[in-house]
Amino acid sequence: MYEQISANKRRTALMMLLFALLVAGVVVAINYVIGFGTIGFVIAAVVAGTASFFSYYSSDKVALAMSRARPADPTQYARYHNLVEGLCISGGLPKPRLYIVDDPAPNAFATGRDPKHAAVAVTTGLLEKMNRVELEGVLAHELSHVRNYDILVMTLAVTMVGVIALLSDFFLRFMFWGGRRSRRDSVDAGPLGAVLAILGVVLLIVAPIVARLMQLAISRRRELLADASGAQLTRYPPGLISALEKLRADTTVIDTSSKATAHLWIESPLDTETGHAGARLNRLFATHPPLEDRIKALKEM
């Protein structure tokens, strides 16, 4: 288990590096294709650096705001607070900030940049539909994301993917409306310049897709580890197994669900029901491994 956590941290660092390189590639492509020169490169680098800084320190606030989460009152949601406190004592973790999402669909997510700056949010549907043991299993899963430092890269992905998509979209539109290099500039640059310009445009087009695929990889490989870590934290795998079975049987979709934050939740909040509009695409770009596989893995522990 500890070897897996160490490997997970190494993959997290690698993924953050890849995100940074992708942003840098987009910035370089923008600068070359549009032809702003050194000044343009400096402006784009400052924008990218500011966006990365904002992502690190404020991405959890963005995720909570997008989900319309509100602080959980300690009196009104005493069971929620008590279970988290007990699990934190058992796992040697500081207690995260606790939030509520007013939604009948059962679900939960964790966010933040480290255990000292973490937050856990659950829906009202989860509190209503799960018994104490099942709720404890779900909360242990989310706290495992905190303990395993999954929350940093998973939360950064929310804003980093958005930054890459916005930069690419803005400058492609800018080029379309006449902001690209003139024909004379392209000719003066020679064949190599033309090739580089084409590669720059291609990168601007595919960068959001690559960022999205990286986001999927981030989530999928961490859910199974969080399941195992959560079961280890409670020392009672049947609790989380029963919770996942309830989630599998429930087809309610979260009203505030977003593709940008889908990978944070314990189960994908997007509609995957056969026959529904967009369901096939949501299944194709699923942010989570199938619940059947997760349940099977827990039963084999």
Residues with a catalytic annotation lie at 142
Kindly provide the residue ranges of all beta strands, DSSP E only, lying in the chain, ordered along the sequence.
69-71, 97-101, 108-112, 118-123
* Positive/negative CA dihedral, 69, 152, 219, 293: negative
Query: What is the C-alpha to C-alpha distance for residues 190 and 36, in angstroms, rounded to an integer?
Result: 18
Gap between the Cα atoms of 67 and 18, Å rounded: 27
Residue 97 sits at φ, ψ, to 5 deg, of: -70, 140
Going by DSSP bridges, is the β-strand pair 97-101/118-123 parallel, antiparallel, or unpaired? Answer: parallel
Q: Cβ atoms within 10 A of the Cβ of 191, count?
A: 7
Nearest to 130 by CA among 244, 223, 256: 244
* Structural contact between residues 144 and 234, judged by C-beta atoms closer than 8 angstroms: no
Q: Enter the tokens of residue 2.
A: 């500890």
Phi–psi pair at 108, nearest 5 degrees: -160, 160
